[in-house]
């Protein structure tokens, strides 16, 4: 990141073609079976078609099945057959609303959206686990089938199981869906232990239209 800021202009820079191409070129030396652009805001801020072009660009360089965190959220919801969500976003409100728009384009119904208003990824990374848990729990919606927690900067792996237990429903976080997506694209679709309902559900081998091109 040339600038750590949850601002639209900074996020458009971090997800730009040149930045992603450099990372993708590094992956070509590692023998990877799949690639995921692991940044939620740096993908959804481009909108559906812009995020799709990001994925295509990385795939052209790496030559392997490719996705991004934003699409991973959509694919995870499809896997779980969930379409109504609540969002607990660490971002400022204007950035979080871009995520709502992205999900709407995917046919996902956003029942509620809460933004924490944190200005940088570094600050999110230092968010107290109890504060993060309280933020997510307090921003559920009774009609939501899942609660989405975007932002790969959030340390959330150890919180997913407690959050699902307290809410009685699925919780999807950015790093969780990113790892699940990479495993899925690599063809490892069996159910496995945690974190969360998503991993225990396994993964569909069916790919979306842009993945199959």
> Is 44 part of any domain?
no
What is the pLDDT at residue 3? 54
In tens, the pLDDT along 104-117 reads: 999 999 999 998 86
What is the pLDDT at residue 209? 41
Q: Using the Cα atoms of residue 51, residue 56, residue 62 and residue 66 in order, give the sign of their dihedral.
A: positive
Q: In which band, very low, low, confident or very high, does the pLDDT at 8 lie, cut at 50, 70 and 90?
A: low
> Is 64 part of any domain?
no
Q: In which band, very low, low, confident or very high, does the pLDDT at 213 lie, cut at 50, 70 and 90?
A: very low
Residue 55: alpha-carbon gap to chain centroid: 14
> Is 38 part of any domain?
no
> Is 201 part of any domain?
no
Residue 133 pLDDT > 80, yes or no? yes
> Is 166 part of any domain?
yes
Lookup: tokens for 208: 């979306």
Q: Are 178 and 159 in contact (CB under 8 A)?
A: no
Which comes out higher in pLDDT, residue 128 or 96? 96
Task: Over range 124-152, report the average pLDDT.
Answer: 89
Measured between alpha carbons, how far is residue 113 from residues 89, 97, 149, 158 in Å? Answer: 7, 8, 10, 23
What is the pLDDT at residue 80? 94
Burial annotation 181-194 (CB, 10 A radius, 16+ → b, else e): bbbbbeeeeeeeee
Give me the domain span that covers residue 85. 72-176
What is the pLDDT at residue 71? 96
Looking at every residue in the chain, the average pLDDT score rounds to: 86
Residues 6+ apart with CB under 8 A from 165: none
What is the pLDDT at residue 4? 54
Residue 6 pLDDT > 60, yes or no? no
Candidates 83, 72, 77; CA nearest to 144 is 83
> Is 65 part of any domain?
no
For the chain, the domain total comes to 1
What is the pLDDT at residue 13? 61
> Is 147 part of any domain?
yes
Beta pairing class for 146-149 and 170-173: parallel
Burial annotation 99-132 (CB, 10 A radius, 16+ → b, else e): bbebbeebebebebbbbbebebbeebeebeeeeb
Measured between alpha carbons, how far is residue 58 from residues 35, 62, 66, 205 in Å? Answer: 8, 6, 7, 21
How many residues belong to the chain?
213
In tens, the pLDDT along 139-186 reads: 999 999 999 999 888 898 889 999 999 999 999 999 999 999 999 999
Residues 6+ apart with CB under 8 A from 31: none
> Is 157 part of any domain?
yes
CATH number at 125 reads: 3.40.50.12500
Which comes out higher in pLDDT, residue 20 or 36? 36
Q: What is the percentage of the chain residues whose pLDDT exceeds 70?
A: 85
What is the pLDDT at residue 65? 94
Q: Which residue is listed with tokens 């801020």? A: 45
């Amino acid at each position: 990141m040339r600038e750590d800021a949850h601002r639209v202009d900074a996020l458009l820079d971090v997800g730009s073609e040149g930045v992603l191409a450099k990372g993708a070129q590094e992956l070509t030396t590692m023998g990877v079976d799949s690639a995921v652009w692991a940044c939620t805001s740096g993908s959804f801020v481009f909108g559906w078609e812009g995020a799709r072009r990001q994925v295509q660009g990385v795939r052209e360089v790496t030559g392997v099945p490719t996705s991004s965190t934003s699409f991973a959220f959509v694919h995870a919801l499809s896997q779980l057959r969930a379409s109504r969500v609540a969002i607990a976003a660490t971002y400022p409100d204007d950035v979080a609303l871009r995520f709502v728009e992205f999900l709407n384009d995917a046919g996902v119904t956003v029942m509620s959206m809460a933004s924490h208003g944190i200005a940088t990824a570094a600050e999110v990374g230092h968010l107290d686990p109890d504060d993060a848990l309280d933020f997510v729990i307090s921003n559920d919606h009774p009609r939501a089938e899942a609660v989405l927690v975007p932002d790969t900067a959030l340390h959330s792996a150890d919180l997913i199981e407690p959050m699902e237990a307290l809410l009685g429903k699925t919780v999807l976080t950015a790093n969780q869906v990113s790892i699940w997506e990479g495993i899925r694209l690599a063809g490892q679709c069996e159910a496995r232990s945690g974190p969360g309902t998503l991993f225990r559900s396994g993964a569909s081998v069916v790919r979306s239209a842009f993945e199959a091109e």
